Amino acid sequence: MTTDFDKKNKQGVTVEEQQQSLGLSRRNLLKGAGIVGAAAVSSTAASTVIAQDGSSSMLANKAIMAREALEVLTAAEAETLEAFCDCLIPSDENGPGAKEARAVHYIDRSLASHNSGSRHNYMVGLSALNDYCNKTRNKQFSRLSKDLQNSILQAVQANKIEGFAPSAVDFFNMVRSHTIDGTFCDPYYGGNQNFVGWDMVRYPGIRLGASETDVAKGALLQPNHQSAYDHSTYTKIASNIDTKTGTTKGSDHA
């Protein structure tokens, strides 16, 4: 597949210039951006996004999400949350976003494990969001146009809507943080499907060793599309961890 970077290189743009362009990491911008900033990054950072191979792959991803069993979220909550995440990191003509990365799947799994303490806030917050939309627009959040969704989320971010736990702005920041996690995490944890998040920021993937040539290429290094858990070294370490106690098997510590 020919990327935008390949095309630019053929036109005489140097590797140094490409790397300078890559310096505007979409992930770093998203961490400090609000709803408007996140949308702006998506529409302007074409040089840091790898386009999907076609609409068929996106349709397949959506079908997988629709069929997938949820661990904690209800179907209605997942639908609302997916629309929320899609506003934060939207898919567009430049490439995939949080929806294709299955950020909601990551969040759902995390609420059944390390983020279980956030479950109540998700339940209250997603309900409050839909209550507000039904009251003011007579529709669920996911049924509104993207412009209206963005406008409402701006109000949530500005703490102008009541009913959230602990507050609207805290709920917004929590979902944003978890959406970023789900889009750019190691795929082992349920998000970043097909490595779309890593491709988005041109992260070449986990490597146990790198040559001087690899280091020089930096973000232009060909991605290997491997989870850390695809490497036997990481798998062996993980298999030696007692999942109940968090200690190494055979350790003297309880």
Q: What angle do CA 57, 62, 67 make, to 5 degrees?
A: 125
Q: What pLDDT is stored for residue 236 in this prediction?
A: 53
Long-range pairs, 113-120, Cβ under 8 A, ≥24: 115/178, 118/174, 118/178, 119/72, 120/165
Q: What is the pLDDT of residues 73-107, one digit of tens each?
A: 999 999 999 999 999 999 887 779 999 999 999 99
**DSSP helix/strand/coil, 245:** coil
200 and 48 Cβ atoms separated by less than 8 Å: yes
Q: What is the pLDDT of residues 104-147, one digit of tens each?
A: 999 999 999 999 999 999 999 999 999 999 999 999 999 999 99
Q: Which amino acid is at 209?
A: G
126 and 168 Cβ atoms separated by less than 8 Å: no
pTM: 0.67
| HSE (side-chain half, CA atoms, 13 Å) at 126 | 22
Q: What is the pLDDT of residues 145-184, one digit of tens each?
A: 999 999 999 999 999 999 999 999 999 999 999 999 999 9
Q: What is the pLDDT of residues 206-246, one digit of tens each?
A: 766 777 776 777 667 777 787 878 766 665 555 565 554 45
Q: What pLDDT is stored for residue 211 in this prediction?
A: 74
